[in-house]
Structure 1
Amino acid sequence: MSTEIRRSGHARLADQVRTGTGVACALVGSRAMGKTTALQHLADAAGDMQVLRLSGSPDETSQPFALLRQLPGVPDSDDPDEVRRGFWQFLDTRQPALLLVDDAHWADQESARVLAHVARRVRGRRLGVVLAAAAERPLHDELARLPRIELPPVDARSARDLLSDVDAPDHVLAEMSRRCDGNPLAIQEFADTLTPDQLAGRDPLPRQVLLGRRSLEVFSRPWARLPDRTRTWLLVLALGPDSFAVCLRAARSVGLRLDDLAPAEQAGVVHAADVPRWSSPLVRAAVRQSATRAATARVCAALAEAADETDWPVEHARYLAGALTDPDRAAAALAAATVPMAHAGQLLEAREAAVQAAVLTADRAERERYRIMAAELAWLAGYSDHALDLLEQAAPQRSPDARTSASIIRAVIHGFRESWTSGWRLLPTDTDLEPGSAEHALRLLVTVLTAGWENATTGSLQDTVARLRGTVEPRLEPVPGVVGALQRIAAGRSDPNPDQREALRSLAWWAKPSDALHPKAWPPPLLPVFIGEEDRYAQLFATLLRGEAVQAAPSTRALLLLKLATAQLALGHWDHAVANAEQGARLADELGHHALHSELLLTSAWIAAARGNEQACSGCVDAAARHAGRRSAGRQPPTMQWVRGLAALSSGRPAEAFDRLRALHQNDDSLHHTVLRRLSTVDLVEAAVQANRRAEAEVLVADFARWVDAGAARWAHLDLARCRALLDGDDAEQRHRQALDLSAETGRLMSSARAELQFGAWLRRRKRHQEAREHLRMAEEHFQRLGAETWRMRAHAELRATGETHNPRPQDDLTPQEHQIALLAAEGLSNRQIAERLSLSPRTVGYHLYKIFPKLDITSRTQLAALLGHPAR
C-alpha cells in the first residue's frame, strides 16, 4: 500500500472518492519521509474534485478547533455540536471532496474528535480523509484507530524515481538510501553533494552523510530548543561509541550530569540504554554536523579519555585526532588512526582519514605520504580508478618512501587489471634504485619478485633481487633469512630449507600493524605448490579470508581466493577449489581485475581438464582468453597450454597432449614458465610414452632428473619416480613402489591416484592380477573422490581386465585399449581420427571396433554413444 501511495496509488484513492467508495486512512512516516509530498500527489490526482488542505501546528494543539477553523465554512464557536454540524454542512456538496490533513499529530483534541467522527462515516460517500502524521509523535487516540499506511524507507528502485536526473548504478542508489536511512529529502540533498565519479560508483561515497540545508533544519528541530547542557550530552552520544557507559564517563568529564539528558529522552530524541538508540540516525548526523569545531574537540578529548584503547582501538584513535585543533598534529593523529581502522575492516573510513590528513598538513612530504596511504586503502576497498586518481594527485617528489609506495601500488593495480607485464614496467628496477627506508625496500623487493614472476627473464629477475638485497637491513626482516629465501626462489629452486620456508610464509601477510594499509600480492599462487607447502598455505589463506580486514577488502579477497583455490587444486580438494575460484572470478570481474579474473578462470579450467570435462574446460579457457593480457604476440599463456594438454591427456588423446605440452616445454624465459614446466613434466612424459615417443620421453626424464637431483621439493621426487616408472625399464617395479611411498608423503590426491593406476596397470600387463586389483581399486576410489570420471573409467577398465566382477557392466568386458577406442568412437571420431590420437593405424582401430560391438551387444556407433553416455556428433 505504501508503495502505491508513492506511485500509482494516488489515482486509485482519488477514484475511490469519485465512485463513492470513501477513503479514510492515516499516512505515517518518520521526519521528511515524504508525507507532505504524498499528500500533494493525492491533491494532484484529484483533478476537478474539491480538495481541502489542513495542517496541524505545535503552537495550536491546546486551542479548541484550531485545526478545523482553517476552513472558511466552519463556525467560530466553542460548541462541539455546532462545529460538527457546520463542518458536515461544509462537506455536504454534490462534488466529491478530498480532505488532506498534514502534521495531524499536532491536531487539537476537539478537531481530532471531529475528524475521527467524519472518518468513521466516509463509507458510501464521495469523501476521502487522509491524514499525514510523524511516526515519532502519537496521534490522538481516536485518530490512531484509523487504518495506517506506513511510508517505508526509500529503496534503490524508489531512489531511481526520486533522482530521475541522476545516472547511478543500483548498488550506489542502495548505498545512498542506506546512508540516508531511506529518507527522500536527505537522499536528494546528499546526491547534490556527490561528484559524478561517486554517483557512477567509481569513487567511494562519503562515510558520513552531509545533510543539506533543508534536511539539516528538519532533523535539528527535535533538539534545537533543548537546554545547552542537553545538547552537549547529545553531542557526546552522537560522537561516542555504541556504549552508554563510555559516553557517561565522557559526559561526566565535561561536567554533565545524567539528569541533563532527561529532556532529550522526554522529547523522544534519544533513548539512553546500554546501546543508545536515536529516533533517527539523521538526527544524530544533524547533531554532529551542527556542532562547532571547539565543542567537537572538547567532546572528542573526553571520549578519548573515556574509551579504553584496548577495547575501542578505532574509536580511541579517532577521538584523539578529533581532539586536536593544531592542523599538523591532527593530521598525524588521523594518519595513525587509519591503522586500527584498516585492521577492523573500516577501509573507507581509513581512506577518508588519510585524505583529511593530507588536507590538514602543511608538510609537503607528509601530504604525499597521506595521499598514497589513501590510494592504497582505496585500492584495497575495490576502487582502482579512484586509487590511481589519488596517486596522480600525490605526485610524490620529496619522499623516496612515497615514490616507492606509489610505484608498488601502481604495479599491483595494473598487474591485476591488465597483466603483470604492465606492473613490472612500472617498478623502479633500473640501476638507480632509491627505495627509501629498508622497510620499503623489502616491500619493493617482494613486489618485484611478484611482478616479475610471470614475465621477467630469470636472469634479470635475479639481478634485480640481488641489487635490492643490499638495501634491506637484516634487522628489519620479519623473520631472519627472508631475503635469502627470496633469492633462492628467484633462482628457480623449490627446496628452501626450514628456516627459509618459515621466512617465506611470514611474507604472505605483513607482520607490522601498519602493513594492513598495504596491498598484499605475495606469494604468487603457484609458489606454495612449487615448494610443496600447499597444505600450510591453504590453512593460512583460509584463516586470512575470515579476518575483518580481508572481508572488507574485495581486491585482497579475490586474490586470496585464487591462492587458496590453487593450493586446494594441488591437494585434490577440487570441489572446494572450484567454489573458491568461481567466487573469486565473480569478484574480480565486478572489480574490473581482468588479469586476475583470467587466472581464476584458468584454475577452474585446469580442474575441469584433469577431470576430463572438456566442455567445462573449454568454456573457462575461452572466457580466460578474452582477458589474457599476459601473452606475448602469437603465444598462449603457459598456464593455458598446460590446461589444454592436460585436457587431451585426460580424454585419451596422448599425441595431441604431447604436442601441446611439448610447446610449453620449449620455452623457459620466466620463473612462472620454469615452475609450470617442472610441474607438468610428468604429464608430458606420460603423453610421450602413450604416443610412442619414447626417445623424447627419455630426454625429458634425464633433464628433469638433473634438476631434481640438484635439490627439489618432495613432489618433484615423486614425479621423477613416476616418470622413470613410465619408461618401463628394468627397475620399473622399484620406481612404481617408490612413487607410491612418496605419494603418501606429499598428500597430493591426483598424483597418488595416477601412481596407483600406473602401477596397477603395470602389474595387470604382467598377469599379476591379484596384486593389481588392490592398486586399481585404490585408484578408482581416488578418482571417484576427485570427480575425475575419465580417469576413473580408465582405472575401472583396468580392474575389469584383471577379472574383477563387481558391478559388471557391458563395457567392463573391454580391454583398456578397447575401452579407450570405444570412448573416442562414442564421441563421434572417425577411425582415422582415433588412430591419429592413439598412434595406431586406422586398420587396427577398425579391428578393435569389430571386436567391441559384439562384446557390447550393439551394431552401430549411435548405440555405442548412447551406451557410454556420449551424444554422437
Structure 2
Amino acid sequence: MATDGLLGRHVECEVLDHILGDIREGLSRTLVLHGEPGIGKTALLGYFGAQAAGCRVISVVGVESEMELAYAALQQLCAPMLDGLASLPAPQRAALTTALGIGVGPVPDRLLLGLAVLALFADAAAERPLVLLVDDLQWVDESSVAVLAFVARRLAAESIALVMASRVLRPDTATLPTLEVRGIKPAEARALLDSALLGPLDAEVRDQLIAETRGNPLALLQLPQRLSVLELAGGFGLPVAERLSEAVEDSFRRAAESLPESSRRLLLLAAAEPRGDSALLWRAAARLGVPPDAAAPVMEAGLAEFGTRVRFRHPLVRSAVYNSAALTLRQQVHAVLGDVVDARSDPDRRAWHRARATAGPDDEVAEELERSAERASARGGLTAVAAFLERATALTADPGVRTRRALAAAEANLEAGGFQAATELITVVERGEPTAGDRARVDLIRAQLNYMTDRGRDSPALLLAAARRLESIDPVRSRATYLEAFSAGMFAGRFAEGCSRSDIARAARAFDRPRLGDTDDLLLDGFVALYLDGNASATTPLRRAVDAAADEAAPDIRSLWLAHVAAVQIWDDRGAEELALRRLMRARSSGALGGLPAALNSVIVWRTFSGVPAEVPALLQEFEAATGDTGGGLAPHGALIAAAFRGDRSEFSSLAATAKADVIRRGEGVGLTICEYAQAVVHNSEGDWPAAMATVRGAAETLEDIGASAWALGEFVEAAARCGAIDAAAHAVEKLSEMTGAAGTDWALGAEARARALVSDGDDADSRYQEAIERLERTTMHADLARTHLLYGEWLRRARRRTDARTHLRAAHERFDAMGMRAFTDRAARELKAAGSSTPKRVGTVSPDGLTPQEAQVAMMARDGLANIDIAARLFLSPRTVQYHLRKVFTKLGISSRTQLHRVLPDTGD
C-alpha cells in the first residue's frame, strides 16, 4: 500500500495497514507510537486515518494546558458517540455521564467508568469499524489516560483500533503494544531535505544537517528555514548544541514572530484555548480587536488552519507560540477567553482561564476554582480536584481560608497520588493559621504519605500518633486511623520501627470511642484483644467481626480485607475464602479499582490452598492487568504461592528474587515471611529439607504475621523433623499449638495434629496422622489434606507398612496431580515406587485442551449459567469479546453449544 508521501516510513505504515486489516476482520488492536518531537508520529496518525476508508474515525489531541482538567480528552473522544448512552447499563451510563459532566451522580469509580467507555466504543463499532486516534498522549489528562489504558487492555474482538502517539511512554500505557518511531534513513532524509530547500546546498552542510537532525522529518523541513543562504552554503551557525525539540520550536517561533501583530495575537489566542472552538476564538478575537483577515497570514505561513475548528500544523507550533509570549500577554488572552466562555455550560474551563489570567490573590476566582473542584470531585477527577484546589490556595489572601484550602488540596493530592505536591501543601498549612484539627489532619496526611510511599517501618508509629491526635477532634476518623495503623503494623511486621502492634492496641483500648457496633468496631476490639491478651481472648471478638462482615450489607473494601485477616487468624478456612471472594466481587461490581489487585492476591492464595487450579491462571492474568490499571506496586504474593505449589521452580525463582528485594526495600515484614514460607514449600516439595529448614527459620521465629507465621511454622516442623532436628521441630509445634488450640477449628486442629505426628513415634504418630486426615477432610484445605496423605504414606513406608503406605501415597499422588502440584506429584511418585507400586498415569486437567487462561475463565462462567453480558461485567470485557472467546472455546473443545460445557470442563467446586 502506498505510504501517502511519508518518506522512509514503509515499516511503520505496514504495521498500521495490518491493524486496519485486523479490525476489518472483526478483531481489535491497540498501538502506542512513541518518539521524540517532530519524528513523524502525527504524520503516521494522519496516514492511518486517511487509509481507514469505511471506518468511523475519531481523533483527539492532548494539550498541555488541559492536563489538569479531568476527562477533558475522554470528553472529546466520546462526544460523537453519546447517542449510544441509552444502550449502556444504568450504572455504567451514570458513571460516564457524571465523569463527562453531563449528568449528576456519585463519584464514578474508574473501573465502572472504564466498562462504560468500553461498552460505548464496542456499540459504536458494531455498525462499522471504529478508529480512535490520540495524539500527544503525554499531555492528555491522567483521568482520561487511565480509562483509555483500561479499555486498551481489554479490547479483543470489537473491530476497534486505538492508536496513540506520545513523546514518552507513560507508566499506565507502558504495557500496551508499542512502536518506536525513529529518524528516517539518510537517503530518505536527503530527499526530504532537498524538498525543503529553495536553492543549492553545500554537500558537507547537507551531511551535517542530516547528522544533527538524526533523520527527524520535522527538523529537516524546518531548520533550513532558520539559516541564511550564506550559512547554508558555508555551514556557519548550525545548531550543534541545541536540543532538537527546542530547535524545531524555535523555528516555529521565528515564523510566528514574522507575522503581523494582529495575526500573532490571533495565534496566541488559539494556543491558549486548546479545544479549537472557532466560534469561541472569534468572540475572543473581536474583544481584542483582531479582525477576521488576521487568519490569512497564519495559514499562508503554514502554522495553523482556521475552519470549523482551529488546527495547528503541529503541537510544537502551539507550545512555541504560547511559551514565547510574554506573561502579561498570556494573562490578557486568558482573561478574554474567560470572559467569553459560557459560565453555565462550561464553568470549569472559564474558572481555569480566569485563574491563568490572575497574577495575585483574587478571592472571587479562588472561590470559583473551589466550586470547580467540587464538580471535579463529583466526576471522580482526582487530579483535577488537586489542581483546582492548589491554584485556589495560591490565589487566596486570607490566612485562615488559605490554610483550609491548602489542607484540602494536600488531601486531594494524596488521594490522586501527587505525593510531592501534598508534602509542599502541608508545609503551607503549617506556616499558616492551622487549628488543632488542622494539625491533626496534617499528622494523618504525613503518616499516610509515609505508608503509601514506604509501606512499612515507621508507618505504624506515624499512624498511631495521628490516631491519638484525632481522638478528641474526630472520633470516627480516629477509629479508622487506628485500624489503618493495625494494617500498617501487619505489613511492617518484624521491620516496624517506633512502635509495635501491642503499642497500637494499648492506645486503641484506652480510646473511649463512640460505639457504633459495626464491623469496624468489632475488628478493633478483636485486634486489641489479640495483641494484648493473646489468641484465646481474641478468638470470640474476631469471630464476631468475621460474622458481622459476612452479614453486613455493604462493608467497604478495607473492612472486608481486615475481616478476611481475622478469619485467617482464627483458622476459619471457609470464612477466609468466602470473605476473599466477596471482597473480589465487591471490587469488581463496584468498580473499586484500587482494591482489585489486593483482592485478587487473596483469592489466588485461597484458590491455591483449596486446590482449585483451573481458576488460578485467569486470576493471575487479571491480577497483572489490574496492577497495570492501577499502577500499583503490590507484591505478587498470590503468584508467588501459586508458583510454589505448582512446583514451577523457574517461574518461582524469578518472582521470588524480585518480590523479596522489593519487600525488604519497603520494609514489609509480612511480605518477607510470605517469601520465606513460599520458598520453604518449594524446598519441601523437592525433599530438600535442610534448605527448607534454613530458609524458613527466621519466619518461624516471627509469630506476629497473621497467617504467614503459622504457615511458616508448619513448613519448619516438616523440614526440621525430616532433618532429625526433633527438639527444634517440637518447640515449633508448641508455638503452633498456641494458635491452633485457641481457634479449635478442624483446619487448626488438623494442622496441629499433623505437626505433632511429625515429632511423634509409634501409635501416637499413627493416630495423629489419622486425626489430621479426618479433620482436614472436613475443610476446604485440599492442598493441606494431600500433603498430610503424603506425609502419612511416607511414615507408613518407613514403618514397613507398605500396603497401607501405598493407599495414602496413591491418594496424595492423585490429589497433587489433579491440583497441578507437579513437584509434590513427583515426590509422591518416588515414594510409591519405593513402596513397590507403579506410578499412576498423570492426568493434569488444569486447562483442558489448550484453553488460554481467559478462555478457561469465560468457559467456566458460561458453564455455570452466566450470560455473556454478566460474564463481561465480571471480567471487565465487552460482550463481543466474551462471545469471541466462547467461539474459540467451542472449537478447541469440539463442542457446539454452552450446554455441552458441563461435559467437557473439569469440576472446580470444593
Q: Could you say what secondary structure the match of 2:779 adopts?
A: helix
Matched AA of 2:582: R
Matched AA of 1:649: N
2:507 counterpart residue number: 464
Q: Alpha-carbon deviations, 1:266-316, whole Å to 9, x = none?
A: 99766777x98666667888799465565444344x2x4225x9xxxx779
Q: How does 1:130-141 map to 2 (within 5 A)?
A: none
Q: How does 1:791-802 map to 2 (within 5 A)?
A: 791-800=824-833, 801=835
Q: Alpha-carbon deviations, 1:649-687, whole Å to 9, x = none?
A: 23313355346545434344x4xx344323334323433
Q: 2:447·2:459 contact (CA, 8 Å) conserved in 1?
A: yes
Matched, 1:305 2:339: no
For the residues of structure 2 that align with 1:498 and 1:253, how far apart are their CA atoms? 63
Q: Alpha-carbon deviations, 1:800-832, whole Å to 9, x = none?
A: 547345559xxxxxxxxxxxxxxxxxxxxxxxx
Query: What's the CA shift for 1:463?
Result: 1.7
Matched AA of 1:485: L
Deviates more, 1:30-39 or 1:442-451: 30-39
Query: What's the CA shift for 1:767?
Result: 1.7
Q: 1:485·1:500 contact (CA, 8 Å) conserved in 2?
A: no
For the residues of structure 2 that align with 1:248 and 1:777, how far apart are their CA atoms? 76
Among 837, 840, 861, the residue aligned to 1:803: 837
Matched AA of 1:457: S
Q: How does 1:134-283 map to 2 (within 5 A)?
A: 162-163=242-243, 186=249, 238=273
Deviates more, 1:425-434 or 1:731-740: 425-434
Query: What's the CA shift for 1:329?
Result: 5.0
For the residues of structure 2 that align with 1:221 and 1:781, how far apart are their CA atoms? 80
Matched AA of 1:499: A
1:47 counterpart residue number: 234
Matched, 1:356 2:391: yes
Q: How does 1:191-590 map to 2 (within 5 A)?
A: 238=273, 289=330, 291-292=332-333, 295-300=336-341, 302=342, 304-306=343-345, 327-338=362-373, 341=376, 346-379=381-414, 384-395=419-430, 398-418=434-454, 420-427=456-463, 429=465, 433-434=469-470, 436-438=473-475, 440-453=477-490, 454=493, 455=496, 456-468=499-511, 470=513, 474=516, 480-492=518-530, 495=543, 496-500=545-549, 506-508=555-557, 531-532=576-577, 533-540=579-586, 547=593, 561=597, 564-572=600-608
1:733 counterpart residue number: 770
Alpha-carbon spacing, 1:442–1:32, altered in 2? closer, same or farther (3 Å): farther
Q: 1:714·1:742 contact (CA, 8 Å) conserved in 2?
A: yes
For the residues of structure 2 that align with 1:729 and 1:7, how far apart are their CA atoms? 82
- RMSD after superposition: 6.2
1:678 counterpart residue number: 710
Query: What's the CA shift for 1:694?
Result: 5.9
- Structure 2 unaligned residues grouped into runs of 5+: 1-6, 8-182, 208-212, 323-328, 531-537, 570-575, 609-614, 843-910
Alpha-carbon spacing, 1:305–1:219, altered in 2? closer, same or farther (3 Å): farther
For the residues of structure 1 that align with 2:735 and 2:279, how far apart are their CA atoms? 74
Matched AA of 2:339: R
Q: Kindly name which structure, 1 or 2, has the bigger radius of gyration based on alpha carbons.
A: 1
Matched AA of 2:389: A
For the residues of structure 1 that align with 2:218 and 2:193, how far apart are their CA atoms? 25
Alpha-carbon spacing, 1:217–1:46, altered in 2? closer, same or farther (3 Å): closer
Q: Could you say what secondary structure the match of 1:35 adopts?
A: helix
Q: Could you say what secondary structure the match of 2:803 adopts?
A: coil
Matched AA of 2:557: A
Q: Could you say what secondary structure the match of 2:635 adopts?
A: helix
Q: How does 1:117-128 map to 2 (within 5 A)?
A: none
The structure whose RCO (Cα within 8 Å, separation 6+) is larger is 2
Q: 1:358·1:370 contact (CA, 8 Å) conserved in 2?
A: yes
For the residues of structure 1 that align with 2:744 and 2:435, how far apart are their CA atoms? 42
Query: What's the CA shift for 1:450?
Result: 2.5
Q: Alpha-carbon deviations, 1:127-185, whole Å to 9, x = none?
A: xxxxxxxxxxxxxxxxxxxxxxxxxxxxxxx9x97438xxxxxxxxxxxxxxxxx7856
Query: What's the CA shift for 1:340?
Result: 5.5
Query: What's the CA shift for 1:359?
Result: 0.7
Q: 2:355·2:391 contact (CA, 8 Å) conserved in 1?
A: no
Alpha-carbon spacing, 1:582–1:722, altered in 2? closer, same or farther (3 Å): farther
Q: 2:444·2:466 contact (CA, 8 Å) conserved in 1?
A: no
Query: What's the CA shift for 1:356?
Result: 0.3
Q: Alpha-carbon deviations, 1:420-458, whole Å to 9, x = none?
A: 222234345289624533454345334322233323433
Matched AA of 2:393: A
Alpha-carbon spacing, 1:432–1:448, altered in 2? closer, same or farther (3 Å): closer
Alpha-carbon spacing, 1:9–1:326, altered in 2? closer, same or farther (3 Å): same
Among 35, 38, 41, the residue aligned to 2:222: 35
Q: Alpha-carbon deviations, 1:74-110, whole Å to 9, x = none?
A: xxxxxxxxxxxxxxxxxxxxxxxxxxxxxxxxxxxxx
Q: 1:736·1:759 contact (CA, 8 Å) conserved in 2?
A: no
Alpha-carbon spacing, 1:18–1:708, altered in 2? closer, same or farther (3 Å): closer
Q: Alpha-carbon deviations, 1:756-814, whole Å to 9, x = none?
A: 64577678856258854763343232442xxx432121133345547345559xxxxxx
- Structure 1 unaligned residues grouped into runs of 5+: 52-157, 165-181, 190-210, 512-521, 551-558, 809-873
Among 654, 671, 687, the residue aligned to 2:719: 687
Deviates more, 1:480-489 or 1:605-614: 605-614
TM-score, structure 1 length as denominator? 0.52
Q: Alpha-carbon deviations, 1:446-491, whole Å to 9, x = none?
A: 4322233323433212122234562x684xxxx9332332332344
For the residues of structure 1 that align with 2:465 and 2:649, how far apart are their CA atoms? 41
Q: Alpha-carbon deviations, 1:700-736, whole Å to 9, x = none?
A: 5565455345447886466456546766443643531
TM-score, structure 2 length as denominator? 0.51
Q: 1:391·1:406 contact (CA, 8 Å) conserved in 2?
A: yes
Q: Could you say what secondary structure the match of 2:664 adopts?
A: coil
Matched AA of 2:243: L
Deviates more, 1:602-611 or 1:418-427: 602-611
Alpha-carbon spacing, 1:777–1:380, altered in 2? closer, same or farther (3 Å): same
For the residues of structure 2 that align with 1:42 and 1:565, how far apart are their CA atoms? 66
Q: Alpha-carbon deviations, 1:51-83, whole Å to 9, x = none?
A: 9xxxxxxxxxxxxxxxxxxxxxxxxxxxxxxxx
Query: What's the CA shift for 1:360?
Result: 1.6
1:83 counterpart residue number: none
Q: Could you say what secondary structure the match of 1:497 adopts?
A: helix
Q: 2:809·2:828 contact (CA, 8 Å) conserved in 1?
A: no
For the residues of structure 2 that align with 1:19 and 1:218, how far apart are their CA atoms? 29
Q: Alpha-carbon deviations, 1:355-382, whole Å to 9, x = none?
A: 2011122343443343344445555555
1:169 counterpart residue number: none
Q: 2:468·2:478 contact (CA, 8 Å) conserved in 1?
A: no
1:789 counterpart residue number: 822
1:87 counterpart residue number: none
- Relative to its length, the structure with more helix (as a share) is 2
Q: 1:321·1:337 contact (CA, 8 Å) conserved in 2?
A: no
Q: Could you say what secondary structure the match of 1:420 adopts?
A: coil
Among 650, 653, 675, the residue aligned to 2:685: 650
Query: What's the CA shift for 1:739?
Result: 0.9
